[in-house]
Amino acid sequence: MDGEHLPSTGELGDFLRSRRAQVTPEDVGVVSYGARRVPGLRREELAQLAGVSPTYYTRLEQGQSTNASESVIEAIARALRLTDDERAHLYDLARPRPGKRRRPSRPDTASRGIRQLITAMTDVPTLVLGRRNEVLAWNRMGHLLLAGHLDRDAPDRPQDRPNLTRMLFLDPHTHDLYPRWDEEAARAVASLRLVAGRHADDRDLAALIGELSMKSTAFAALWSKHPVQNCVSGRKHLRHPEVGELELDFEALHLPDGAGHRLMTYTAVPGSPTGAALRLLQAGVGTEGAVAL
C-alpha cells in the first residue's frame, strides 16, 4: 500500500489526465472533430498547444519519459491553464528531487523554543504541525478549540499523536466541528496532494494516504480528483460544542527549521462575536494545561 499512493510516474500521468479532461476545445480555440470518448482535450491537441510532439507527450503521460525540461513543463502548464500551485505540483511530479539516504527514523518533535512561544500565546489558539498534518504541540487554547475531547498530552506520544487530516475524515467530533465540512475536506485533500508531490519517499505519508483511502470513501473520492492547493491562510467556520459558532482566520507559518514544521494560528476579527466566544473559551481554561516543556 505504501508505494501505491506515493507520487510517481503514475501520479504524473494521473494528474495530467485529470487536468486535460478539464480543458475543452472551446476553452482554447481548438476546432473539435469526431466523437469524443472522454471530456476535455485529446493528447494530440494538448501536445499541439504545448508545442511538443504527440509521441513525446504520450510518453510523458504514460510515465515513459522522466526529467522533462523546464521549457516543456512550462509549455504544458500554460496549455492546461494550471494555477501557480498546480504548476508547482507538476514540477514536483515531472522532475522529482533525488531521494536522500534513509536514516533510522526518530519521532518528530517541536523544538523547546517553539513550545515556549506557543505557550506564551495565551489568547491565540495555536498548533505546531508536522508536514503530514500531525500535531506536534498545541497550546491551551489550540487544544480546547480543536480537540478538547482528546487527551491533552496526546501530541507528546508519537504512537497515537493526533493528525488533523485523519481527525477530519475519521473522527466524528471533528466532523461535527465543521458545519462546512465539505469545504474543509476539499481544502485538506488539496493541501495533502501538494505535500505528497514534494515527498515521494515519505513512507509515513503514504501510509496515512492509504489508511484514509481505505477507511473514508469521501477521502478516496476527493483524492482521485487530484486537487492541488497551497492552503496557507483563509477563514474557517467552526461550530464549537461549548461556545457555538466561530469564524476564525487561520495562518500557516512555515518555520525555518528544514523539517517542514508549521505554526498554525487561529484569530478572530477584533470586536466580533467570535472574539467574545474565544474569550469565553479562554476563561473556562483557567491556568492549567500549559504545553509541557
| pLDDT confidence of residue 100 | 53
Say whether both 83 and 216 belong to one domain: no
Contacts for 115-123: CB closer than 8 Å, 24+ residues apart: 115/291, 115/292, 115/293, 116/291, 116/293, 118/142, 118/263, 118/291, 119/290, 119/291, 119/293, 121/265, 122/282, 123/278, 123/279, 123/282
Could you tell me if residue 11 is inside a domain? yes
- 181 located within any domain: yes
Among candidate residues 64, 94, 124, the one where a domain is terminated: 94
Query: What pLDDT shows up at residue 107?
Result: 73
Q: Residue 231 belongs to what domain range?
A: 112-283
Same domain, 148 and 240: yes
Within this chain, do residues 260 and 172 fall inside the same structural domain, yes or no?
Answer: yes
Q: Are residues 119 and 32 in the same domain?
A: no
Answer yes or no: do 137 and 76 share one domain: no
Residue 219 within a domain:
yes
Provide the CATH number for the domain around residue 57: 1.10.260.40
Query: Are residue 88 and residue 150 in the same domain, yes or no?
Result: no
Q: Note whether residue 101 is domain-resident.
A: no
Same domain, 32 and 131: no
Name which of 196, 229, 233 is nearest 212 in CA terms.
196
Are 18 and 89 within one domain?
A: yes
Q: What is the pLDDT of residue 3?
A: 38
CATH code for the domain of 258: 3.30.450.180
Domain count across the chain: 2
Q: What is the pLDDT of residue 47?
A: 86
CA distance 291 to 9: 43
- pLDDT of the residue at 150: 95
One digit per residue, pLDDT tens: the chain, 293 residues? 333 333 445 888 888 888 888 888 777 776 666 666 777 888 888 888 888 888 888 888 887 766 788 888 898 989 899 998 888 888 888 876 665 545 545 678 999 999 999 999 999 999 999 999 999 999 999 999 999 999 999 999 988 899 999 999 999 999 999 999 999 999 999 999 999 988 878 889 999 999 999 999 999 999 999 999 998 999 999 999 999 999 999 999 999 877 889 999 999 999 999 999 999 999 984 444 445 44
Residue 196 located in a structural domain: yes
DSSP secondary structure letters along 168-201: HHH-HHHHHH-TTHHHHHHHHHHHHHHHHHH-TT
Quote the CA–CA distance of 121 and 138 in Å, as a whole number: 10
